[in-house]
């Protein structure tokens, strides 16, 4: 099975800061990677698909990059409503796997 290593596990940043989360796959997954935002009590919301494509309706401050085994998710200017937990997810393999999650807090 493909393992996804996401870091950091938690992050504290100020409004307006640039925030970066990374995800590393245990083997080449091409660009078969999603990034999700999850708020408490809610289902995950897809933000980025195919590693770098912004889902319709998602603010442009969110972006993704990478291919192969190394991926990056960025919020260019953190907003208060971005407080959530973020997950990467690979779908190259029939068995989908998620990163461990990154809890983002406001400093």
Partner 1 sequence: EVQLVESGGGLVKPGGSLRLSCAASGFTFSSYSMNWVRQAPGKGLEWVSSISSSSSYIYYADSVKGRFTISRDNAKNSLYLQMNSLRAEDTAVYYCARDTGGLWGQGTLVTVSS
Residues in region 58-97 near partner 1 by CB under 8 A: 87, 89, 91, 94-97
Task: Compute CA distances 4 → 18, 77, 80, 90, 98, whole Å.
Answer: 23, 26, 27, 8, 6
Give dist(CA 21, CA 70) in Å, integer: 11
Contact letters (x/-) for partner 1, 39-58, by CB under 8 A? ---xxxxx--x-----x---
Q: Tell me if residue 8 falls in helix, strand or coil.
A: coil
* Contact region with partner 1 (CB under 8 A), list: 16-24, 31-39, 65-73, 76-84: 31-39
**Which lies closer to partner 1 via its Cβ, residue 8 or residue 18?**
8
Instruction: Report, in Å, the least distance between residue 15 CB and partner 1.
Output: 26
Listed in sequence order, the residues at least 6 apart from 21 whose beta carbon sits closer than 8 Å to its beta carbon are: 6, 7, 8, 11, 72, 73, 74, 86, 88, 102
Q: Which residues contact partner 1 by CB under 8 A?
A: 32, 34, 36, 38, 42-46, 49, 55, 87, 89, 91, 94-101
């Amino acid at each position: 099975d493909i393992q996804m290593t996401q870091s950091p596990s938690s992050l504290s940043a100020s409004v307006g800061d640039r925030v970066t989360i990374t995800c590393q796959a245990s083997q080449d997954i091409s660009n078969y990677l999603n990034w999700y935002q999850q708020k408490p009590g809610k289902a995950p919301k897809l933000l980025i698909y195919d590693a770098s494509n912004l889902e319709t309706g998602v603010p442009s401050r969110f972006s993704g990059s990478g291919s192969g085994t190394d991926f990056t998710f960025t919020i260019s200017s953190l907003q208060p409503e971005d407080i959530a937990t973020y997950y990467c997810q690979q779908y190259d393999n029939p068995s989908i796997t998620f990163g461990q999650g990154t809890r983002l807090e406001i400093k």
